[in-house]
Amino acid sequence: MANNAITIGGQSVLPGENKRLNIPIDRLPTGTLIDIPVYVFNAKKPGPTLLVQAGLHGDEINGIEIVRRMIAEDHFKVKSGAVIAVPILNIFGFIHYSRDVPDGKDVNRSFPGTKTGSMASRIAYHHVNEILSQIDYGIDLHTGGGQRHNYPQVRYTQEDELSIKLAEVFNAPISFPSKLIKGSFRNAAFRMNKPTIVFEAGESMRFDENSILGGIRGILKVMMHFEMISNIASEYANKNETIPLVERKWLRAPTAGMFIPKITNGSSITKGQILGIVADTFAKRTKNIKAPYDGYICCINYQAVVNQGEALFHVGAKK
């Protein structure tokens, strides 16, 4: 029994073929055509079709490097099933160093999209109809926003048992359920019965080698689980103990001032522990930020000057 052909942008990738395809999206004001590059690795032997995508937000470059490196190192040449790899979904955001497309819309709030809608809506529409409709599982790669550094973590859909299993196999250092957001890729995938997880690691516009290696390691574990590959290279094979988190919350700045973290990202915390301080520039006032419960840090905002109410630490209690 042979694997199925995969057709994207009017081009087919037959069993046993590997191709780079392109989905035309729009043109720059100069007339330059912008398309989404899509790599398809289709084995002869049947198996699941796995989507690995990055750059849904154009400034989140750790995921882009994860996909690029896996393509360069031939990790996607599978023995069964198929991989659809999308290094940069939001090309417009990438070339503008931006999370969004030029009109300010977020592609990850525009699913399932429309054929004649805004730029973000059209990107989402083509993704749903050209890619999402053909996959069995998906891994969506993200980072934190500006100055917010996410400790490597996987977010899954609580209502989807296969999404939970996928998160367990990925085996990130931290994992937790995350609510579905209207217009998001994960919400669209859930509605189409396509189990997906989101890997969040690092911050925007800054490479973090630990995050990149963790992403590659998790993707290879998923591929190994589905028997798409025979082994994992030793540098990616080490085992994490995943820490499941519950009761997550953001700890916010109690006042305006200079923010000084007193703990490293990913660390365990105990109730009442001082995690950081916010101090005025004249050394007159200092406010402590304390842990609300025993748990772990999963994100730190490294913005040095903050206003009252800004999110500083993302924490979660251990399950």
pLDDT tens digits, 152-195: 999 999 999 999 999 999 999 999 999 999 999 999 999 999 99
- List the structure tokens of 227: 């028997």
Half-sphere exposure of 276 (CA within 13 A, CB side): 27
Side chain identity at residue 199, one-letter code = F
What is the pLDDT at residue 240? 77
| 64 contact partners, CB below 8 Å, separation of at least 6 | 54, 55, 87, 88, 94, 141
> What's phi and psi for 136, nearest 5 deg?
-105, -35
CB neighbour class for 212 (10 Å; exposed up to 12, middle 13-18, buried from 19): buried
Alpha helices per DSSP H over the chain = 61-72, 91-95, 119-126, 161-170, 185-191, 209-225
Q: How far apart are CA 198 and CA 196, in angstroms?
A: 7
pLDDT tens digits, 73-109: 999 999 999 999 999 999 999 999 999 998 899 999 9
pLDDT confidence band for 1 (50 / 70 / 90): low
What is the pLDDT at residue 81? 97
What is the pLDDT at residue 275? 98
Given the structure tokens 């990438």, which residue do they identify? 94
Count CB atoms within 10 A of the CB of residue 316.
22
What is the pLDDT at residue 234? 87
Do the bridges between strand 33-42 and strand 18-27 make them parallel or antiparallel, or are there none, so unpaired?
A: antiparallel
For 235-271, the DSSP string reads GG-PPP--EEEEEEEEEE-SSSEEEEE-S-TT-EE-T
What is the pLDDT at residue 291? 98
Q: How far apart are CA 155 and CA 141, in angstroms?
A: 11
Q: How far apart are CA 250 and CA 299, in angstroms?
A: 9
Closest C-alpha among 154, 158, 155, 112 to residue 133: 112
Does residue 60 have a pLDDT over 70? yes
| 140 contact partners, CB below 8 Å, separation of at least 6 | 53, 54, 56, 185, 186, 196, 197, 198, 199
Kindly state the greatest CA–CA separation across the chain: 75
In angstroms, the Cα distances linking 236 to 70, 171, 220 are 12, 12, 8
Please compute the mean of the pLDDT values over residues 31-42 and round it to a whole number: 92
pLDDT confidence band for 33 (50 / 70 / 90): confident
pLDDT tens digits, 188-244: 999 999 999 999 999 999 999 999 999 999 999 999 999 999 999 888 887 778 999
